[in-house]
Amino acid sequence: MNSAMNTPSLHLVSSNELPFTSPAMTEPLLKLDQIDTFYGQIQVHFGVNLSIGRGEIVSLLGGNASGKSTAMKVILGLHKPRAGTVSFDGKPLNGLPTSQIVRRGIASVPEARRLFGDMTVRENLLMGAFTRKDRAGIAEDYERMLELFPRVKERLTQRAGTLSGGEQQMLAMARALMSGPALVCMDEPTMGLSPLYVDKVLELVQTINRQGITFFMVEQNASLALQIAHRGYVLQTGRVVLSGTASELLGDQRIRDAYLGGALAAETAS
């Protein structure tokens, strides 16, 4: 298995079995502390602080060039920050290669899916379980995935590259879940999807979250993200300018300004 935290394996559990604990009470699962990131000379993050509690769905919002995708890369070890620490389950991740970070219990649903296009749907799913050795567990989760994602089940022997955008997104999520993670990081999961699939994706995130898996979503579409998130952060040109529960953010006119322009300082009211 992946981490020492005894991630519940993916059983279908009825929704009243797992009481939802307020995330504020427990130690955060993932924490970014004063992260400064650079691309060459360009600074992309200025002292970014994020924390994600166990069992939460947290959304990172922001317009273009806000630094949201880079935040994902920093967490997954694909880009090293110049300052600050990333810790998962209390232990620092700084400096670890991606292949190690993923083994600690973080799974990734990359932007634009990044499926292995020439491999079949089945092979993509099994690649998701690459870090696992427990064949029985893998087989069990494989079956669960097919139940949760019926569209995927229909296309097992097809090459992943031939699926539609929405189907690919389903497959990418299933692939990520196959590793039995504690935290799933999703980068712009609704981009380019038809409304039907957008609904499906969001529903699935909520269903799986109720079983105890934590989600971190980078998303451009604020209203969609905030519909299912418990909490959110808003990034603007590399700084966290707003944070709060989803309802607080949804009601805040400043979110509109953060996207549609207008300098947002903590003191400025819209």
Partner 1 sequence: MTAWFDYTINGLIVGNIYALLAVGLALIFGVSHLINFAHGSVYMVGGFIGWLCLTRLGLPLPVALLATVVGCALLGIVIERIGLRPLQGAARIAPLLATIGISFVLDQLAQIVFGPDPRPVPSPLPQWTLSIGGAALGSLDLLIAAIGVGAAAVLYVFLRFTRLGWAVRATAQDRDAAQQMGVNVNAVNQAVFAIACGLGGLSGLLVGMYYNSIDPAMGFQATLKGVVALLVGGLGNVPGAIAGSLLLGLVESYGVALFGTSYRDLFAFVLLLAFLVWRPNGLFSSNRRLPPEPLTGTFLSNRRAVRIPRRVIVAVVALAFALPFATPSSYVVQTLTNGWIYGLLALSLTLVAGTVGQISLGHAALLLIGAYASALLSVNLGWPPALTIPLAGLITAAIGTLLVYPSFRLRGHYVSIATLGIGEIIGLVVLNWDSLTRGPVGITGIPPLTLFGWQLTGARSVYWFTLAVLVLLALLQVRLLRSHLGRTWRAIREDDVAARAYGIRPNRYKAIAFACGGLAAGIGGGIAAHLYSYINYQTFDSQVSILALTMVILGGLGSVIGAVAGAIALISLPELFRFAADYRMLIYGVILLLLVRFRPQGLFGAV
Partner 2 sequence: MSSTSTNTADILFDVRRVTRRFGGLVAVDEVNVSVARGECVSVIGPNGAGKSTLFNLLTGIDTPDAGEVRFGGEDVTGMAPELLAARGIARTFQHGRVFGNLSVLDNVLIGAHARLATTRRGWPVVGAFAEVVRALVGSAAMRREDAELREEVTALLARFGTRLTPRIDEPAHSLSYANRRRVEIARALALRPRILLLDEPTAGMNESETAEMLELILGLKREGLTILLIEHKLDLVMRLSDRVLVLDDGRKIAQGLPDEVRNDPAVIEAYLGHRQVGAQAGRSETAAA
What is the contact mask toward partner 1 in residues 4 to 43, using x (rule: CB under 8 A)?
Answer: ----------------------------------------
Distance of alpha carbon 223 from alpha carbon 208, whole angstroms: 20
Task: Work out which of 42, 136, 196, 266 binds partner 2, going by CB under 8 A.
Answer: 42
Instruction: Check: CB of residue 219 under 8 Å from CB of residue 59.
Output: yes
Annotate each residue in 122-161 with x if it binds partner 1 (CB under 8 A) or - if it does not, as one string: -x--xxx-xx------------------------------
AA identity, residue 235 = L
Please report where in the chains the tokens 């109720």 appear, as a residue: 210
The binder of partner 2 chosen from 19, 40, 97, 150 (CB under 8 A):
40
Query: CA 133 to CA 195: how far, in whole Å?
Result: 37
Token pair 């502390």 is at which residue? 33
Given candidates 198, 201, 204, 242, which one binds partner 2 under the rule CB under 8 A? 198
Among partner 1, partner 2, none, the one that 183 touches (CB under a kind-dependent 5 to 8 A) is none
Nearer CB in complex with partner 2: 62/181: 62
Of residues 3, 36, 63, 87, which one binds partner 2 by CB under 8 A? 63
Using DSSP bridges, classify how beta strands 57-61 and 231-236 pair: parallel, antiparallel or unpaired: parallel
Beta bridge partners of 170: none
Residue 3 contact, options partner 1, partner 2, none, Cβ 5-8 Å cut-off depending on partner type: none
CA dihedral over 75, 51, 217, 269, signed as positive or negative: negative
Report the C-alpha gap between 207 and 53 in whole angstroms.
17
CA triplet 141, 108, 51: central angle to 5 degrees? 110
Please name the amino acid found at residue 95. G
By residue count, the chain amounts to 270
Token digits of residue 174: 């299933």
User: Applying CB under 8 A, which part among 18-26, 132-140, 149-157, 250-258 lies near partner 2?
Assistant: 250-258
Q: Contact at 8 Å (CB) between 216 and 30? A: yes
Q: Among 49, 99, 247, 268, which residue sits at the site for partner 1 (rule: CB under 8 A)?
A: 99
Cβ at position 249, least distance to partner 2 in Å: 10
3-state secondary structure of 44: strand
Residues 6+ apart with CB under 8 A from 202: 190, 224, 227, 228
Q: How far is the CB of 237 from partner 1 (least distance, A)?
A: 25
Find the shortest distance in angstroms from Cβ 247 to partner 2.
Answer: 4
| Member of 192, 207, 268, 270 binding partner 2 (CB under 8 A) | 192
Residue from 90, 95, 117, 251 touching partner 2 (CB under 8 A): that is 251
Contact call for residue 108 and partner 1 (CB under 8 A) = yes
User: Is residue 193 close enough to count as binding partner 2 by CB under 8 A?
Assistant: no
In degrees, rounded to 5, the angle at the alpha carbon of residue 268 between the alpha carbons of residues 262 and 270 is 60
Residue ranges binding partner 1 (CB under 8 A):
76, 78, 97-99, 102-103, 108, 110, 114-119, 123, 126-128, 130-131, 175, 179
Residue ranges binding partner 2 (CB under 8 A):
39-44, 63-65, 188, 191-192, 195, 198, 206, 220-228, 237, 245-247, 250-253, 255-256, 259-263
